[in-house]
Amino acid sequence: MSEAPSLQGLNPEQKTAVLHERGPLLVLAGAGSGKTRVITHRLARLVETGVDPRTIVAVTFTNKAAEEMRERARKLLGGRPLLSFVGTFHSFALRFLRRNAAAAGLAPRFSIADSADQLSLVKEAMDELGLSEQVFTPGAVRSRISHAKNALLTAQAFADSQTDYAGERIGRVFLLYERKLAAAGALDFDDLIVRPVRLLRSRPDLLAAERARVRHLLIDEYQDTNTVQDALVKLLGERAESLCAVGDEDQAIYRWRGAEVEHILRFDEDFPGARIVPLERNYRSTAGILDAASGLVANNRRRRRKTLVADRGSGPRVRLWRFDEDRSEAEAVARALAERSEPGEVAILYRTNAQSRPFEEELVRRRIPYVVVGGMKFYERAEVKDALAYLRLAGRPDDDLAFRRVVNVPARGIGKTTLDQLAKAARERGVSWWQVSGEPPPGLTERARTALSRFRALVSDLAARAETESPSALLEHLLEATGYSALYHGSEEREDVARRENLEELVSSAREFERRSGEDATLAEYLDSVSLATDADAAAGGRGVTLSTLHAAKGLEFPAVFVVGLEEGYLPHGQSGEDEDELEEERRLLYVGMTRAKDELTLSLAARRLVYGRVQPRMESRFVSEIPRESVDERTFFASRPAFVTTHVAPEDESQEVDLPGTGELKRGRRVRHPRYGYGVILAQEGSGDETRLTVYFDRAGKKKFVARYADLTPA
């Protein structure tokens, strides 16, 4: 008699966690210890033992993780479709709000403001309150608002509790921001979780109903829950038949977003009688890699002591490569990975998105395929957002955020003056822009009126079609009808071609959505899914090298990993401050990166690097010295030639020019720009100091001579 699929291939601890029947369970899953395995098997097990799958809710932090979990659980169940909810906190909460919109006091078709929308609302509020952006940046204010919301403070409560000047101002922005959001009929990401918590707390009847729907709860990445998410888990988990939280405090990397490790450290106090199952056997990495990573993270104080035991053999030591400059780092990494037969087995991980560039260039040069995770996201591109804004308007013309985004895209003669008047009227009358545009304020020109009424006719038509047409068909139609396609039609500009491709991609993604969700895929559902989509699930581990931030790499694994840019300023990041909590988070971030590696791990850094287009000296990260020496194999690659290779003078001249630091910007071979003549390259230099004369060859204007101190030349 063989075991059920859900129990196969599990070690005793994993099995304990999967079989746990009633009440709270905390699985402390060290890196590579089979966390996803436990949670998916547990999900399958519950279904197998006869639990109604619709009463099981599994929550993850990313769509990607949700997708994977659903897929793996489905396989374990013999391919039957899984009726349980598997998704992110945000999508779970959104569904709840859609079901209970009226009770929550929300417009039935409320929309979701993304981070860009949030930022513009904050800016607007600050403008109206006459707050100079010098004092607080809108970004900082938004972050304060977000933190307040995640601490379950209302705008009023926040404002009332402020005593100092800055706090009091921010409180006023917060209040106005909330008013604007409400006027637009929108919720921000934080609201998606905050609102359900409020509602469930104030309405025992709804809480009871929701508890009846959710009998078994599984939460992944518990170390990254913030206060509101934790509150939601408590509301639903306390009375559930089972609650299973899985996490690892050593991989907590979202403190900056309000996550608190305390939630996982305190789990057994919050849920008395909780069973705790540690998973301490690492199946992923070879021992050398694990020793190095464990040695590093052992420097953190706020953690439960634990030992991860390597299940695999020793393997090679971790390589530490030091370079003179960033280009050599990129070259060496690309060369090393070119030796591997399968690019899909390699990942390059870095702290900030901007660091991908030199590696991308190097990979392109060598024709090695690669995938950048995150980065400039598909759904954040202007043309995609514009098209979606039209779609939102079709669903709900009162969507102010969407209205304002596209009312004049493509340009139809509705300019700033007109919009200012509309804004004012909308505020005074307390109605949406759509409504104002139907009865425009008297001050408008005839031209503006005509333009507005044509726009209204367009939107009305789209709204009518939305009743019958599928999202993808509507999308295709509106791109033509709005004149949006025509904007980029026929152009051979790189950018325009890319835009057309993105719009095509958007239409196919809508089709894909319809295919997956069957006949009755509604526009609203499509818009919801898009609002919560992040990177177009550019799933890693495909056919190319994976380039990713350390954050986005969590949960992934690769045979070979390069963690690059191990320098002060990146790791720890310059913005992260010196306090112990923040340093510990940065250390965990590196730990997460290192533990992604199965067979080979390379850490690298450079002594000089181009930052914002300027060469900057870099210092080795303090974390490097915290990694146990015996597990590291160090090498230094400093080229014998002086550093600072500048642009080549001409394609046929491969000799590299040298520009020593501190000797001025304008040297032979340097690429420069002149306000009148455009781009060129310095051919010759005579004299020195104020007398320096330069001969420049311009791409367009040919050869010119200048006295350096008068010529307005800038390095290009």
Partner DNA sequence: CTGCTTCACCTTTTT
Partner DNA sequence: GGTGAAGCAG
- Alpha-carbon span 231 to 211, nearest angstrom: 14
Question: Closest distance between DNA and the C-beta of residue 459, in Å?
Answer: 17
Question: Closest distance between DNA and the C-beta of residue 276, in Å?
Answer: 27
- Alpha-carbon span 606 to 207, nearest angstrom: 55
36 has catalytic annotation: yes
Among 257, 275, 385, 648, binds DNA (CB under 7 A): 257
Backbone angles phi, psi at 196, to 5 degrees: -60, -40
598 has catalytic annotation: no
Residue type, 694: L
> Which residue in 221, 260, 325, 399 is the catalytic one?
221
Q: Does 532 bind DNA (CB under 7 A)?
A: yes
Residues 6+ positions from 629 with CB-CB distance below 8 Å: none
Which residue, among 685, 121, 539, has the nearest Cα to 111 in the 3D structure?
121
> According to DSSP H, which parts of 129-188 are helical?
138-150, 155-160, 165-183
Instruction: Point out which residues pair with 545 in neighbouring strands.
Output: 370
CA-to-CA separations, 224 to 250, 254, 497, in angstroms, rounded:
11, 6, 40
- Alpha-carbon span 189 to 258, nearest angstrom: 13
Strand 216-219 vs strand 56-60: parallel, antiparallel, or unpaired?
Answer: parallel
CB closer to DNA out of 91 and 300: 91
Among 98, 303, 465, 573, binds DNA (CB under 7 A): 573
Q: Does 670 bind DNA (CB under 7 A)?
A: no
Q: Does 644 bind DNA (CB under 7 A)?
A: no
Question: Closest distance between DNA and the C-beta of residue 445, in Å?
Answer: 8
Question: Closest distance between DNA and the C-beta of residue 224, in Å?
Answer: 10
**x/- binding map, residues 436-475, to DNA, per CB under 7 A?**
-----------xx---------------------------
Q: Does 700 bind DNA (CB under 7 A)?
A: no
CB closer to DNA out of 317 and 351: 351
The one-character DSSP state at 415 is -
Contact 242, 230 (CB under 8 A): no
> Which residue in 123, 596, 608, 670 is the catalytic one?
596
169 has catalytic annotation: no
Q: Does 313 bind DNA (CB under 7 A)?
A: no
Instruction: Point out which residues pair with 562 in neighbouring strands.
Output: 348, 602
CA-to-CA separations, 386 to 393, 398, 475, 484, in angstroms, rounded:
11, 16, 11, 9
- Alpha-carbon span 479 to 488, nearest angstrom: 11
Among 352, 435, 685, 692, binds DNA (CB under 7 A): 352
Q: Does 85 bind DNA (CB under 7 A)?
A: no
- Alpha-carbon span 407 to 414, nearest angstrom: 7
Among 575, 625, 640, 655, binds DNA (CB under 7 A): 575
Touching DNA, residues 49-68 (CB under 7 A): 61-63
Instruction: Point out which residues pair with 281 in neighbouring strands.
Output: 309
221 has catalytic annotation: yes
Among 10, 26, 44, 89, binds DNA (CB under 7 A): 89
CB closer to DNA out of 617 and 687: 617
421 has catalytic annotation: no
Q: Does 552 bind DNA (CB under 7 A)?
A: yes
Among 415, 443, 542, 642, binds DNA (CB under 7 A): 415
CB closer to DNA out of 76 and 246: 246
**x/- binding map, residues 276-295, to DNA, per CB under 7 A?**
--------------------
DSSP string, 454-475: HHHHHHHHHHHHHTTS-HHHHH
> Which residue in 36, 154, 421, 522 is the catalytic one?
36
CB closer to DNA out of 39 and 632: 39
Q: Does 177 bind DNA (CB under 7 A)?
A: no
* Tokens describing residue 645: 């290779």
* Tokens describing residue 65: 């993780």
- Alpha-carbon span 294 to 315, nearest angstrom: 16
* Tokens describing residue 162: 């402020």
The one-character DSSP state at 251 is G
Q: Does 414 bind DNA (CB under 7 A)?
A: yes
Among 14, 33, 100, 576, binds DNA (CB under 7 A): 576
Q: Does 418 bind DNA (CB under 7 A)?
A: yes
The one-character DSSP state at 693 is E
Residue type, 17: A
Residue that is written with structure tokens 């949406």 in the block: 432
Question: Closest distance between DNA and the C-beta of residue 341, in Å?
Answer: 29
Backbone angles phi, psi at 653, to 5 degrees: -95, 100
Q: Which 3 state secondary structure label does DSSP give 396? A: coil
Question: Closest distance between DNA and the C-beta of residue 573, in Å?
Answer: 4
Question: Closest distance between DNA and the C-beta of residue 146, in Å?
Answer: 8
Q: Does 161 bind DNA (CB under 7 A)?
A: no
Residues 6+ positions from 519 with CB-CB distance below 8 Å: none
CB closer to DNA out of 322 and 588: 588
Q: Does 613 bind DNA (CB under 7 A)?
A: yes
Question: Closest distance between DNA and the C-beta of residue 416, in Å?
Answer: 5
Q: Which residues are catalytic?
A: 35-36, 220-221, 251, 596
Q: Which residues bind DNA (CB under 7 A)?
A: 61-63, 88-91, 115, 120, 137, 139, 189, 256-257, 351-354, 374, 408, 411-418, 447-448, 532, 534-535, 549, 551-552, 573-576, 612-614, 675, 716
